[in-house]
């Protein structure tokens, strides 16, 4: 069932009537089923929103339309559905089923919602829908009991994989430009037994593939923040029990394993922990990236799923955020990566495989070596970056922490930060070292929006940079030659003022469904942060980098005395790392309660000095009015016999006691002698 892009009506007589079908809302698509289809292609889907069916613009007399099965880059052949008022609307389909198919649902639509979709017995992928998509109430039943009875549909390259348990993935995503929200998925019959593989099925094939239930491509462009999910349920009996989420076939990476960006910066937010069966909101990032996705160093906050084909670090998100952006050493190729790469590497090298520099969280020593790690190696404190412009990771730099950037060729003479993707109001701090002879006057930071410029202001401390409401301050540490700045989703308005962007006015609102959100990416025209360094440039580095190389000094965490780095954004006591801090025990508060011997009473000797008539005149009720609450006055009078129990300070407050006038005990409290 295909929903192709139609830039013009298919009727040749209506070809020039002005109607653009691809930009009109679809009618109700509900309650459909597809089976035994889509076997002929690698990624052909039984429900396919994509492909273009169009008239050749250069042949006005043609009676035959052309068809392109894949993604088309031109606006004419891209679906951009609008409502009657010109507002964006979504291509939607509901309550449909696919079985015995190659791919259940796929598509290239710009805005898609899929609700109540079931996929059973698919050959290659259950779901593979690109760009901005809400996949809601999905049933993924990888292999039913009927599957064993189904022969391969053919002998062609894409027709003989159905019974190969190594060939399929339940959900497959793309490398970049995705915004996927996945809610309320039910997953069954997707374990090792369903695949028929060792060790789940004795004697079955040994799994050597790069496929898993969830599969990410790692041989493409750098990723942004693009995946968030909630409400996942597993039929434990049919997937092999709860250990399934720890098994190799649960999470995988397809494609060549020597591309930096996806190997080290791919990510997924498990918003309620249900997808990975974790305790609460969880951030998933490649374990190969080392400390980059290790958000918290306290016990129980993070774990590595080492058995997965693509091992991942899982950490509790807490109050942290995720962000992505381009960092481009200028000049740039249009809105893509740096043009400098082709000036430095002239033998057809792939910019995604060549290291450009590194990234390190504040608080570590880091590693300045260009050999510190390369994919698929596992990094440590410092993570390598390629010439792919994407920079993606976790942060919350309101009080502590930051991202330290280093470039192998030295300090860029002109660096721009653009295509930012982050939440408004958050604090993202970055830093890099400048050449040793740099002075303040050599530094120029400024923002740009549609050609309008706004200069950032030099300030006196790092704390002021963190606290800047608009993120428009920077600081240069003259001692370490470290430049600090903030990154925000900013905007220079027509009156040349600068502030956080108004997303609604500029049409870059977050994609939000079911209380989950993926932030939209700002365009290069909407915001660029320029960092210009006035320096003698290196002619052997395309004049794009300063000649004098900087030191490699990762900024300290700045923890108070006695505290250490607990996470990428927190300091605390060292014992918190091992969760063995002694809980403070409060000393009992000394409440001036009077034990029975101290209750103010008229001692017998004192009572006997009073005449019987005086004694009898004090009615019993009057005696009882001297209650404990009355005796708890500021200086309660006690019996002389109790003087020896008092401290010097309390002794002096008692009329019946005296301190230090007794020759036998000059440092004690004793009864005062009554004068007769």
Pair 584, 574: CB distance under 8 Å? no
Torsions phi, psi of 132, nearest 5?
Answer: -85, 110
Confidence of residue 674 (pLDDT cuts 50, 70, 90): very low
Q: Is the pLDDT of residue 559 over 80?
A: yes
With a CB cutoff of 8 Å and minimum separation 6, the contacts of 87 are none
Give the whole-number percent of the chain exceeding pLDDT 70.
87
Q: Which pLDDT score is estimated for 81?
A: 86
229 sits in which H/E element: strand 227-230
Query: What are 445's two structure tokens?
Result: 């930071």
Query: Span 417-445, mean pLDDT?
Result: 97
Average pLDDT over residues 119-130: 94
DSSP string covering 618-675:
S-HHHHHT--HHHH-SSS----GGGGGGS-HHHHTT-TTEEES--TT-TTSEEEPPPP
pLDDT of residue 403: 98
pLDDT above 90 as % of the chain: 70
Distance between CA 601 and CA 67 in Å, rounded?
A: 108
Digit-coded pLDDT (tens) for 291-332: 999 999 999 999 999 999 999 999 999 999 999 999 999 999
Beta-carbon contacts of 333 under 8 Å, excluding residues fewer than 6 positions away, are 339
pLDDT of 577 = 95
- Please state whether 533 falls in left (phi above 0), alpha (psi between -120 and 50) or beta: beta
Residues 309, 251 contacting (CB under 8 angstroms):
yes
Please, are residues 91 and 3 in contact by the beta-carbon 8 Å criterion? yes
Closest CA to 416 of 337, 483, 475: 337
Q: What's phi and psi for 450, nearest 5 deg?
A: 50, 45
409 pLDDT higher than 60:
yes
Summarised one tens digit per residue, pLDDT across range 129-147 is 989 999 999 999 999 998 8
Q: What is the DSSP letter of 231?
A: -
Tell me: pLDDT of 636 over 70.
no
Residues 6+ apart with CB under 8 A from 210: 252, 253, 254, 255, 309
pLDDT at 53 over 60: yes
pLDDT value for 560: 97
Q: What is the pLDDT of residue 41?
A: 75
Report d(CA 420, CA 324) in Å as an integer. 6
Q: What is the enclosing helix (H) or strand (E) of 236?
A: helix 236-239
User: Residue holding tokens 């494609």?
Assistant: 255
Question: Quick check: bond before 199 cis, omega within 30?
Answer: yes
What pLDDT does 668 receive? 62
pLDDT of residue 633: 39
- Report the distance separating Cα 54 and Cα 432, nearest Å: 51
Given CA atoms 291, 295, 299, 304 in this order, what sign does their dihedral have? negative
User: What single DSSP character describes residue 16?
Assistant: T
Residue owning tokens 């059973």 = 120
| Burial track 190-225 (b if 16+ CB lie within 10 A, e otherwise) | bbbbbbbbeebeeeeeebebbbbbbbbbbbbbbbbb
Cα(285)–Cα(307) distance, integer angstroms? 15
Q: Is 111 helix (H, G, I), strand (E, B) or coil?
A: strand
Burial of 109 (0-12, 13-18, 19+ CB in 10 A): buried
- Give the pLDDT band of residue 660 (cuts 50, 70, 90): low
Name the percent of the chain in helix, strand, coil, to the closest 5: 15, 35, 55
The Cα–Cα gap between 381 and 345 comes to: 28
Average pLDDT over residues 360-376: 96
Considering the chain, what is the average pLDDT of its residues? 88
Distance from chain centroid for Cα 670: 71
Confidence label for 652 from pLDDT (cuts 50, 70 and 90): low
Are 362 and 400 in contact, with CB atoms under 8 Å apart? Answer: yes
Helix (H, G, I), strand (E, B) or coil at 290: helix
Count the helices and strands in the chain (H runs, E runs).
12, 38
Distance, in Å, from the CA atom of 381 to the CA atom of 359, rounded to the nearest integer, reads 9
- Measure the CA–CA gap between 590 and 584, rounded to whole angstroms: 18
Q: In this predicted structure, what is the pLDDT of residue 588?
A: 60
CA distance 78 to 52: 8
The torsion defined by the Cα of 24, 30, 36 and 41, in degrees rounded to 10, comes to 30
Q: How far apart are CA 126 and CA 141, in angstroms?
A: 9
Task: Specify the DSSP element, H or E, that contains 180.
Answer: strand 179-188
pLDDT tens-place string over residues 432-491: 999 999 999 999 999 999 999 999 999 999 999 999 999 999 999 999 999 999 999 999
Q: How large is the average pLDDT for residues 172-179?
A: 90
What pLDDT is attached to residue 601?
A: 44
Residues 6+ apart with CB under 8 A from 380: 290, 291, 367, 372, 373
* Cβ proximity of 291 and 364 under 8 Å: yes
Q: Which residues contact 434 (CB under 8 A, 6 or more apart)?
A: 411, 442, 443, 476, 481, 482, 483, 533, 535, 546, 550
CA 212/CA 171 separation, integer angstroms: 8
pLDDT at residue number 188: 98
pTM across the whole model: 0.85
- For residue 222, the model assigns a pLDDT of 86
Q: Round to whole Å and give the CA distance between 426 and 320.
A: 9
Q: What is the pLDDT of residues 191-221, one digit of tens each?
A: 999 999 999 999 999 999 999 999 999 998 8
Dist. CA 81–CA 107, nearest whole Å: 14
Q: What is the pLDDT of residue 675?
A: 38
Query: Is residue 181 classed as helix, strand or coil in its secondary structure?
Result: strand
Name the residue ranges covered by the structural domains of the chain: 26-45+73-316, 321-578, 638-676
pLDDT class for 612, splitting at 50, 70, 90?
very low
């Amino acid at each position: 069932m295909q929903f192709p892009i139609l830039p013009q009506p298919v009727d040749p007589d209506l070809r020039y009537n002005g109607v653009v079908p691809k930009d009109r809302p679809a009618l109700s698509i509900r309650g459909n089923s597809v089976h035994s289809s889509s076997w002929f292609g690698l990624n052909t889907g039984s429900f396919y929103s994509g492909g273009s069916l169009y008239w050749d613009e250069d042949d006005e007399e043609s009676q035959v339309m052309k068809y392109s099965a894949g993604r088309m880059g031109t606006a004419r052949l891209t679906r951009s559905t609008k409502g009657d008022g010109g507002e964006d609307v979504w291509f939607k389909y509901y309550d449909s089923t696919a079985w015995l198919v190659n791919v259940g649902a796929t598509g290239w639509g710009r805005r898609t919602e899929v609700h109540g979709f079931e996929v059973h017995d698919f050959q290659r992928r259950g779901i593979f829908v690109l760009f901005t998509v809400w996949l809601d109430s999905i049933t993924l039943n990888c292999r039913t009991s009927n599957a064993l009875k189904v022969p391969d549909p053919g002998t062609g390259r894409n027709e003989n994989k159905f019974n190969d348990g190594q060939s399929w993935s339940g959900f497959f995503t793309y490398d970049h430009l995705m915004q996927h929200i996945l809610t309320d998925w039910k997953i069954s019959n997707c374990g090792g037994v369903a695949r028929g593989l060792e060790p789940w099925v004795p004697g079955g094939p040994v799994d050597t593939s790069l496929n898993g239930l969830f599969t990410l491509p790692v041989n493409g462009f750098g990723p942004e923040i693009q995946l968030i999910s909630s409400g996942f349920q597993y039929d434990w009996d049919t997937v092999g029990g709860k250990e399934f989420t720890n098994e190799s076939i649960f999470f995988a990476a397809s494609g060549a394993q020597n591309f930096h960006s996806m190997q080290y910066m791919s990510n997924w937010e498990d918003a309620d922990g249900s997808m990975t069966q974790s305790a609460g909101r969880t951030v998933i990032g490649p374990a190969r990236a080392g400390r980059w996705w290790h958000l918290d160093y306290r016990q129980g906050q993070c774990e590595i799923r080492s058995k997965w084909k693509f091992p991942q670090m899982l950490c509790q998100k807490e109050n942290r955020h995720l962000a992505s952006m381009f960092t481009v050493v200028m000049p740039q190729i249009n809105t893509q990566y740096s043009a400098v790469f082709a000036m430095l590497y002239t033998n057809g090298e792939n910019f995604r495989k060549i290291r450009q520099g590194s990234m390190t969280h504040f608080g570590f020593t880091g590693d300045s070596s260009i050999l510190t790690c390369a994919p698929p190696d596992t990094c440590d404190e410092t993570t390598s970056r390629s010439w792919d412009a994407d920079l993606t990771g976790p942060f919350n730099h309101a009080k502590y922490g930051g991202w330290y950037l280093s470039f192998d060729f030295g300090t860029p003479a002109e660096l721009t930060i653009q295509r930012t993707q982050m939440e408004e109001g958050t604090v993202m701090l970055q830093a890099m070292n400048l050449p040793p002879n740099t002075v303040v006057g050599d530094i120029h930071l400024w923002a740009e929006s549609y050609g309008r410029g706004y200069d950032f202001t030099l300030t006196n401390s790092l704390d002021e940079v963190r606290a800047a409401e608009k993120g428009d301050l920077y600081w240069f540490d003259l001692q370490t030659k470290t430049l600090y700045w903030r990154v925000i989703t900013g905007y220079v308005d027509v009156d040349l003022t600068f502030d956080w962007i108004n997303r609604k006015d500029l049409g870059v609102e977050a994609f939000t469904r079911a209380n989950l959100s993926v932030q939209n990416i700002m365009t290069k025209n909407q915001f660029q942060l320029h960092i210009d360094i006035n320096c003698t440039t290196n002619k052997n580095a395309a004049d794009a980098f300063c000649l004098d190389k900087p030191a490699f000094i990762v900024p300290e965490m700045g923890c108070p005395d006695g505290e250490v780095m607990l996470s990428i954004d927190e300091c605390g006591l060292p014992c918190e790392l091992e969760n063995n801090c002694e809980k403070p025990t409060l000393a009992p508060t000394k409440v001036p309660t009077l034990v029975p011997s101290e209750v103010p009473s008229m001692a017998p000797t004192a009572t006997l000095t009073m005449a019987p008539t005086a004694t009898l005149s004090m009615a019993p009720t009057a005696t009882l009015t001297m209650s404990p609450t009355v005796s708890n006055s500021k200086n309660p009078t006690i019996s002389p016999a109790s003087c020896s129990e008092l401290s010097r300070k309390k002794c002096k407050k008692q009329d019946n006691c005296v301190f230090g006038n007794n020759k036998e005990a000059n440092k004690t409290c004793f009864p005062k002698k009554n004068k007769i």
